[in-house]
Amino acid sequence: VGTGIGVLAEVINKSSDKTGIRAVANVISTSDEAIKSGTMSNIIINGITLGDINNIKAGDSDGRLVQAFNAATNQTGVEAYTDEKGRLNLRSIDGRGIKISVSKNQKGQDGKVAEVSVKSMNGGQKLDGKGSENYGRLSLTRLDARDIIVMSATNAKNTYKALGFDNKQIAKQVVNLRDAMGAFNKDIKSASGANYNKVVASGGAELGAGVTTLRGAMVVMDIAESATKILDRIRADLGSVQGQMISTVNNISVTQVNVKAAESQIREVDFAQESANFNKLNILAQSGSYALTQANAVQQNILRLLS
């Protein structure tokens, strides 16, 4: 518990809001062939011993083998199911690795050795030898159409190889809405994480058209989400430009109002000054008229006295 690429995916997803990257961990082991009628002896999965399972039917038609695995899911972290080809699939529910081994079947009371129901998994890993080990596949999806850059501070070469990020180990592909109009090719299938083990990878070259498969539907959903995020970013940029334009127009309006106010004040000052000058000159004119009237009156009085 708390190990494997499932934990790594959780750590990456905690920073998705900053990195724009979403991680998905797939740890699924698939038998190389359909389940055969027979027996599996001393099954050990992730350190838990399941013991012997006898009388297994072809394709596990009665579910005996799957039920035996699922009865210990809480301990092993692995659930089992069969696919349409009758193959055994083991899926890690928390992203930890899957390690399974069996012992060679012994002779029965009839002196015969029973058929081994599942001999190998994941493209040739024999269960009765070293066993099968599968630590899964990590898929990274960037939703803003930019490159995914992975860096390691120390021991980079070995770290990349251990995580599957060596140049020869990764599968990368840029997908857009145009690709969703037809069948997703083998490169998209691999990059999307659909080839989670060698058995599945060898089963078909294409992922299928659009949403006809689960993985294809998830790819289409990622494309739609990416398009939405890009549109949101463009809309935010346009909104910023619009805000700047509105601010500029408002500044121009304020400047215009200020100029008009200054003009009004200037006109008011000029009118007041002219009014004061007019009143002063009017008073001087009235004073002059009064002085002239008084002078005429004095002249008349002198003439009257002389006559």
Q: What is the CATH number of the domain that holds 40?
A: 3.30.70
* DSSP structure class, residue 251: H
Nearest residue to 263 via CA among 252, 274, 255: 255
Contact, 38 vs 106, CB < 8 A? no
Total of domains in the chain: 1
User: Per the domain annotation, does 106 fall within a domain?
Assistant: yes
Read off the tokens for 55.
Answer: 């009388």
The pLDDT score that the predictor gives to residue 207 is 56
Read off the tokens for 40.
Answer: 């599996």
Q: How many CB atoms sit inside 10 A of residue 254's CB?
A: 10
User: Per the domain annotation, does 101 fall within a domain?
Assistant: yes
User: Per the domain annotation, does 190 fall within a domain?
Assistant: no
The pLDDT score that the predictor gives to residue 182 is 58
254 confidence band (pLDDT: 50, 70, 90): low
User: Per the domain annotation, does 282 fall within a domain?
Assistant: no
Q: What is the mean pLDDT of the chain?
A: 76
Sheet strand arrangement including 38-45: 48-56, 38-45, 98-103, 132-134
285 confidence band (pLDDT: 50, 70, 90): confident
User: Per the domain annotation, does 112 fall within a domain?
Assistant: yes
Give the pLDDT confidence of 130-147 residue by residue, as tens digits. Answer: 899 988 888 887 776 667
The pLDDT score that the predictor gives to residue 34 is 92
User: Per the domain annotation, does 199 fall within a domain?
Assistant: no
Cα–Cα distance, 76 to 78 (Å, whole number) = 5
Nearest residue to 206 via CA among 219, 178, 187, 192: 187
Q: How many CB atoms sit inside 10 A of residue 211's CB?
A: 13
Percent of the chain past pLDDT 90, that is, above it, reads 22
**Which amino acid is it at 78?**
V
User: Per the domain annotation, does 259 fall within a domain?
Assistant: no
Which structural domain, as residue segments, surrounds residue 100? Answer: 29-134
| Angle 122-125-128 from CA coordinates, rounded to 5° | 135
Give the pLDDT confidence of 179-232 residue by residue, as tens digits. Answer: 555 565 566 555 555 555 565 555 555 555 555 566 666 666 666 666 677 677
Give the pLDDT confidence of 258-283 residue by residue, as tens digits. Answer: 767 666 666 655 566 767 777 777 78
User: Per the domain annotation, does 37 fall within a domain?
Assistant: yes
Is pTM beyond 0.85 here?
no
Read off the tokens for 24.
Answer: 């998905």
Tell which wins on pLDDT, 263 or 44.
44
Phi, psi of 152 (to 5 degrees): -130, 135
